[in-house]
Amino acid sequence: MTGVANPGELTAMLGPSGSGKTTLLTALAGRLAGKVSGTITYNGHTDPTFVKRKVGFVPQDDVHYPHLTVLETLTYAALLRLPKSLSREEKKEHAEMVIAELGLTRCRNSPVGGCMALFRGISGGERKRVSIGQEMLVNPSLLFVDEPTSGLDSTTAQLIVSVLHGLARAGRTVVATIHQPSSRLYRMFDKVIVLSDGHPIYSGHAGRVMDYLGSVGYVPAFNFMNPADFLLDLANGKY
């Protein structure tokens, strides 16, 4: 990720289904089972234990205890994951800060719910923010998020990406895989990585991608086309 994901920036990893986005993100986060070739470094460090302590990873599927409230979920996570040097009250205060930062105050006392429960619980967007909050508790400097907008409507998807954008602006490095973002979402990305069959076909500033593609002979058929749609067409071999 050298030169692509920098502090204070939101990087989007784009590509069609099966292009390797989730596999690459999971491997970089050190969560990929099996043998992985190559070396993953973090500011020059290659120790996997050191890297895991600095990296947060939010998987695509939200797995929570459905009967716990948002406050209980994040409080228990804080009690388990934060260092012993913090008191019990300090850990609870940290959970409250994350709830406020992610805009979950309104539903803090509502059960999480989900597919494992017989009741609905909080909304899909709120549940995704709870998943992000569990990683934010340990204050990672690098946050990987896999498909945070899958299954959400366009307004909720924009809210989730706005949250990630805010986390990046607070000084963190945020990298997220996005399947097919709208033009509104695309404008919030600082940099993009486009994969096709496991190979990068573009890596750089999101706002410069159309100029670059035009310079190498790839121009969309009509003006004002969503850059993400054009990139996915190229990644699928359609031009």
Q: What pLDDT is attached to residue 45? A: 80
Q: What pLDDT is attached to residue 25? A: 92
The whole-number mean pLDDT for each consecutive block of 10 residues of the chain, a chain of 239 residues, reads 68 91 89 80 80 87 91 96 93 95 93 78 92 92 93 89 92 91 93 92 92 89 85 85
Q: What pLDDT is attached to residue 4? A: 56
Contact 21, 145 (CB under 8 A): no
d(CA 171, CA 143): 11
Q: What pLDDT is attached to residue 186? A: 94
User: Percent of the chain, pLDDT > 90?
Assistant: 56
Nearest by Cα to 200 from 11, 49, 8, 73: 11
Q: What pLDDT is attached to residue 5? A: 65
Q: Which helix (H) or strand (E) holds 193?
A: strand 191-196
Total residues found in the chain within this entry = 239
Q: What pLDDT is attached to residue 184? A: 92
d(CA 178, CA 187): 13
| DSSP assigned state of 106 | G
CA distances from 82 to 41, 156, 181 (A): 24, 30, 34
Q: What pLDDT is attached to residue 239? A: 66
Tokens of residue 136, six digits: 């934010």
CA 79 and chain centroid, separation: 24
Q: What pLDDT is attached to residue 116? A: 65
Q: What pLDDT is attached to residue 12? A: 95
Long-range CB contacts (within 8 A, 24+) of 79-86: 81/137, 81/138, 82/137, 82/138
Q: What pLDDT is attached to residue 120? A: 80
